[in-house]
Amino acid sequence: MKIAVVGAGYVGLVTGACFAELGNDVVCVDIEEDKIKNLNNNIIPIFEPGLEELLIKNRKKGKISFTTDLKKSIKESDIIFICVGTPPKKNGEADLSYVEDVARTIADVMDSYKIIVEKSTVPVETGDKIAKSIKSYNAHKVDFDVVSNPEFLREGSAVNDFMHPDRIVIGCESERAKDIMKKLYSPLKAPIIFTDIKSAEIIKHASNSFLAAKISFINAIASICEAAGADVEKVAEGMGYDKRIGRSFLDAGIGYGGFCFPKDAEAFIRISEKFGYDFSLLKAVQEINNNQRNHFVSKIEKALWIVKGKTIGILGLAFKPNTDDMRFAPSVDIITELQKEGAKIKAYDPKAMEKSKGILKNIEYCSNTYDAAKDADALVIVTEWDEFKEIDMKRIKSLMKHPLIIDGRNIYRLEDMKNDGFTYISIGRKEVH
Ligand code: UDX
Ligand code: UDX
């Protein structure tokens, strides 16, 4: 099938690359000329495991191309995926102006039947609004269908999530579009849930909010564990064996970040308000998440006593491992707070340092973990990259001014840290001295 993917960001590039890999003819469109120029020179703007290989391979095969020409791409495609950003406005609502721009351009230029798919995360009723907008600007008076097909791609494993989804959700109100979407996704052999458009839109917000709630729940339990002297890892394990609960998304830490959970939870609260429902549960989820970061900074302050003048080595800047994405990364708040108090920050991240340089200033960026630990009064784990789990603790200890590790992701065993002679402070577990 001929597919246009509008918006070559995290979601658009993964979607485009994977549809090309499945044998479709894909054109990825973006307004940023530099981005398209780079993509046409095999320079991929983001780090996402497996993405570069897929894009380069399928570009060589002629299955995927990159352009800024939105009008031509619309005309030449059967299905148009809208993957432009839906960033939060000041009041927390999703800004849908980019989505609307694309919808109006589609209406203006389409001259044959098209399926317009909303892939970006949007509030319920956006599908109706897109349809209404296209209908009123439909210059050539052609048939079209709007479909909601939310993405469930986790950064760091997005290609794998696309190719092996737990489910595919398709909100669609015409048999014609339903048949085409079914055929498009048939190579993936995953369960397809067909719903009306509004339900599909709510599935996306409800899923992300539920996962955010799971994280805040375990972070609340972690605080109780700390006070009671219990171990949150054991609690999560014990809870997780219950199939009704499940172990995933019960990792206590410094709270969720990234471009999805924080903004989606906020947007869902705003949408609910508009419908007259006070989503107090989700507000509590947010509050716990925000407190979790402050709580972590307090642990660092308490461990160092006086932060001013101390050198703190930070391991991990990206909001999660296997990505270079710094959007709503907890590292930004944590480092900014420590800098305000006069700490000297050294930091290392395997992939996110370039992006971090545009956001966090006055940091000594290091070339590896050991450089970050050198002469540090404390080493702080912010992102659980695999390489941090395998470091030589004896070497770290010999490099640091003081053997103090404060771990926001619980990546080390308490016994090991005790045996290696560290003061080790983590989340929801006993302190090791
Ligand atoms: C996406 C979704 O849009 C968002 O709703 C979801 O919650 C997370 O994933 P993402 O792919 O991460 O966002 O966004 P981003 O990396 O910012 O990419 C959006 C792209 O759209 C950018 O490359 C931007 O240049 C492009 N764009 C934006 C257009 O091509 N046209 C526009 O009018 C606006
Ligand atoms: C999320 C959704 O999972 C995905 O389906 C899609 O809708 C896009 O948004 P993403 O934000 O890329 O994906 O990563 P995810 O793995 O969901 O992690 C989000 C945040 O939660 C990260 O900051 C992560 O560190 C945190 N997290 C996750 C925890 O703190 N504990 C956990 O147990 C799991």
Query: Which ligand is nearest to the Cα of residue 103, counting in written order?
Result: 1
In this structure, the answer to whether residues 124 and 190 fall within a common structural domain is: yes
Q: Is there a contact between 12 and 66 (Cβ–Cβ < 8 Å)?
A: no
pLDDT (tens digit, 9 = 90+) per residue, 278-305?
A: 999 999 999 999 999 999 999 999 999 9
Going by pLDDT thresholds of 50, 70 and 90, the confidence category of residue 408 is very high
- Whether 127 is covered by a domain: the verdict is yes
Of 18, 83, 225, 260, catalytic: 260
Give the DSSP H or E segment for 347.
strand 344-348
| 120 CA distance to ligand 1 middle (Å) | 8
Residues 6+ apart with CB under 8 A from 189: none
pLDDT (tens digit, 9 = 90+) per residue, 299-343?
A: 999 999 999 999 999 999 999 999 999 999 999 999 999 999 999
Residue to mutate, 11, 51, 319, ligand 1, most ligand atoms under 8 Å from C-beta: 11
Whether 260 lines ligand 1, by a CB cut-off of 6 Å, is: yes
Residue by residue, DSSP assigns 161-208 as: HHHS-S-EEEEE--HHHHHHHHHHHGGG---EEEE-HHHHHHHHHHHH
Domain housing 84: 2-195
CB-based burial, 272-298: b 16+ in 10 Å, e otherwise: beeeeeebeebeebbebbebbbebbbe
In this structure, the answer to whether residues 224 and 190 fall within a common structural domain is: no
DSSP code at position 105: H
- Whether 305 is covered by a domain: the verdict is yes
Whether 7 lines ligand 1, by a CB cut-off of 6 Å, is: yes
The CATH number of whichever domain residue 419 belongs to comes to: 3.40.50.720
Whether 8 lines ligand 1, by a CB cut-off of 6 Å, is: yes
Q: Whose CA is nearest to atom 14 of ligand 2?
A: 154
Q: Please tell me the total count of domains within the chain.
A: 2
In this structure, the answer to whether residues 253 and 345 fall within a common structural domain is: yes
376's tokens: 């540090």
Sole residue written with tokens 């052609």: 142
Identify the pLDDT of residue 142. 97
In this structure, the answer to whether residues 260 and 174 fall within a common structural domain is: no
In this structure, the answer to whether residues 251 and 366 fall within a common structural domain is: yes
Residue to mutate, 15, 259, 263, 327, ligand 1, most ligand atoms under 8 Å from C-beta: 259
Single residue among 195, 228, 248 that ends a domain in this structure: 195
92: buried, middle or exposed (CB in 10 Å: 19+, 13-18, 0-12)?
middle
Share of the chain above pLDDT 90, in %: 99
Q: Is 260 a catalytic residue?
A: yes
Q: Whose CA is nearest to atom 2 of ligand 1?
A: 120
Mean pLDDT score of the chain, rounded to an integer?
97
DSSP code at position 116: E
